Amino acid sequence: MKYDELELMELFLSEGKSLTDNYGDGQYIYRFSKKNMQLILFIYSYEKQINIFLQENNRDIFSVGLNNITQLKKEDMYLKILREDIEVAKICFGTAISVSVEA
């Protein structure tokens, strides 16, 4: 899976943390909070998988797992999630956090 860690830092306003304390295994978690909303992104680079959770007041209101992801790409205030150059999901880091997934 291809992504730029600096672009993710710009969107999430922090570095990703290793899920296993082994930064070479490609398993990371990124968190972003705005008001009462929290976005949690799990990246499993070598498995080409991501999991997205959106919470309001610490309760899950949306979650999705995506497979065969080849690229995460920042575009303005969006994180585009691509499978073979086709956008399958998009996260908006605007005034409100939103997640859209293509059917």
Whether pTM exceeds 0.75? yes
Give the phi and the psi of residue 74 in degrees, each rounded to 5.
-80, 135
Give 16-24 contacts, CB < 8 A, sequence gap 24+. Answer: 16/43
Question: Tokens representing 63?
Answer: 């979650």
Given pLDDT bands bounded at 50, 70 and 90, which one contains residue 97? very high
Mean pLDDT computed over 36-60: 96
β partners of residue 33: 38
Whole-number pLDDT of residue 23: 77
Any alpha helices (H) in the chain, and if so which ranges? 5-12
